[in-house]
Structure 1
């Protein structure tokens, strides 16, 4: 093999991401230099934050520039190495991008054990989504035993883990998801106490029924109208870890609201946005806890693996914003 392929940004999307926003480029197969190794990538993590990375707007990381390889967490196997810490055959995960091969010196790369969990899980529940759930809930939300925790996008990669961790901490856990199939998965398989379907009935009434003692912690993944409804039912001194706003990811106009911000004052709420990289130096702690709970069967994880390779990236990514995924969305290369 003398060539490889990468997915590069060709134009900034307006609204939904489209295949024409990217260029698939064939390139010479790179050779590792001193202290470097080459990874043959097998799976790419698809995450809601990707839509923000494609925008030129100021954010917590610089945008992906036109012509650059699309930023992504991905995983694979070392196939050539000049680094003794990463021998040939070692499975690894890291921010390698959407491409078939990557060169690294090991900075920020995680060595993974596929005997403990399959490779895709290391960019899912044991990867960035798992770390996000762990630190967002426990460090920002700080739930106490007996409190009520509500999670939006509850069947997704992050939300599904947030709810399960909250149950491990002795909380009543209520999910918000779209459709009876997802709600059934959240309660029957993940063990949430209840799940409210935002697509049917009255979300405000159904949520009030599911949370008779109000809401102490709300893990926010969605934003929009759902945030306003939840704010109205928050208890005094409640906490809101603000992880994402899926509802506004593909918006082409400024989004209104939330209108209910007065509730933050009257109930003395704490609302804190966070990024998982805020806790970068503590990732081993998260991995230890997540791996232990998973190994004990107390933390269930599910990947939604899609085929199609680089050509399927844009259409598959859009599944995140329409609710078309069931579990952690992963693209097989």
Structure 2
């Protein structure tokens, strides 16, 4: 057999294994609420989608944003207000949140992409802090009290989301749809251009691509998917507060992505699950959760510089699975 044939066979084996792992993962998520607390699982899914949406911007476009809490928390506020005050159904409320996050992404991205590196990052942080102050002062957000008692209602008019299993499978469906959208984006010609911008922006410009438009499009897509996670979170927990738009929330999603692995599809999911689990099971302990997460982050930076899943892909075993080994 030729090297090309061996490489194609290895690639086919990897794709088969990857598909099998995806099916096993989906099956596990379907069975999970029968063995674990559904609300905790829904929290993991919401933050996993949030981290994957953020990774679309950082991992595949190379833009670091410290303002993604504006999209997450903004969508939570918009959804909560639309459902509680306007009487919207949960699916329409989430769409309102996504629309609001998309507009915010267009505005913040318009200014952020005009600079590079730390300057772009600081613009996202500054604008997100301005939005956080707006949420504190605006009447519809109810200030420090937030919007509480958001009704879950009925999905499509007949599915009672007050039932934990119904709510869980709705969240799971939205999560899988969001992940499919992200997978489709990064494996499309558009996604290939985003990766080229990340690797060498000047070369992408020399090839004739309007880099600013692609970066803005990626920013808006990431914001919209983040809004999907934020709106979903508001329905699950039935409230939206200033914590959702705080800079700590932006830092938390960065931590999730770095722990799991930047530029990997599964990495942010793993990172979000790890952080959510630590916060859940250490919340009642005397040891501060932030100290534990800080220690894990330092270990990850020192030992797993590509993130846990990223290091696995970069290992010899991971390269063999992907058909990229020297043999």
Structure with greater proportional strand content: 1
Q: Identify whether the pair has TM-score above 0.5, normalized to the shorter chain.
A: no
Structure with greater proportional helix content: 2
Q: TM-score range by the shorter chain?
A: under 0.3
TM-score by length of structure 2 reads: 0.26
